[in-house]
Amino acid sequence: MIRFVTTNEGKFREVSALLRARGIQIERLDRPYPEIQADRLDDVVEYAVDSLAAEVDGEFFVDDSGLFIEALGGFPGVYSSFAYRTIGAPGVLRLMEGVESPAARFETVIGLHGQGKTQLVRGACRGAIAREARGSGGFGFDPIFVPEGHGKTFAEMTTDEKNAVSHRGNAARALAAVLQGR
């Protein structure tokens, strides 16, 4: 059993559904940990893993994700959680008013700690910022992100539909490959 250290029920629901379908059982360790402000998701994840390594028994993983909007120079990026708490999806939509290109991408980095080492895996999903929030599923910026090749926002998709194309789904598949390849 591997622990996913997260306070976010939505993240746990998505990742556990995907890993369970691959025969990997995880449990949620619902506890906060320090998240540094850094310019790279890798740095945030590595710091979190290092902070937890002495406190969490056995194998565990953490993840960090960001929404990177090209027209805004990559904002909110690594600061997505803070941006969501302060301006939310409506604030991002206001920032996008009058912007010609809504191109964006979501990225996730997962840090797996076990057997005395840490391994990072990544996932990404290209898409665009919608003109308005749509859907009631998901969490965070899901109502305003439309993945490339789709007409629905993440918030309009089922968990399985989102996992098939999302940044977190791609990172979880990379994590499953690492775990199954041992």
**Positions marked active-site:** 64
Residues in the chain, total: 182
- Give the end-to-end CA distance of the chain in Å, rounded to a whole number: 15
CA 148 to chain centre: 17
- Tokens matching residue 46: 């590595």
- Tokens matching residue 54: 């002495």
Neighbour tally for 180: CB within 10 Å: 10
- Of the candidates 176, 174, 146, the one whose C-alpha atom is nearest the C-alpha of residue 162 is 146
Residue 79 DSSP symbol: T
Q: For strand 2-5 and strand 60-69, is the pairing parallel, antiparallel, or unpaired?
A: parallel
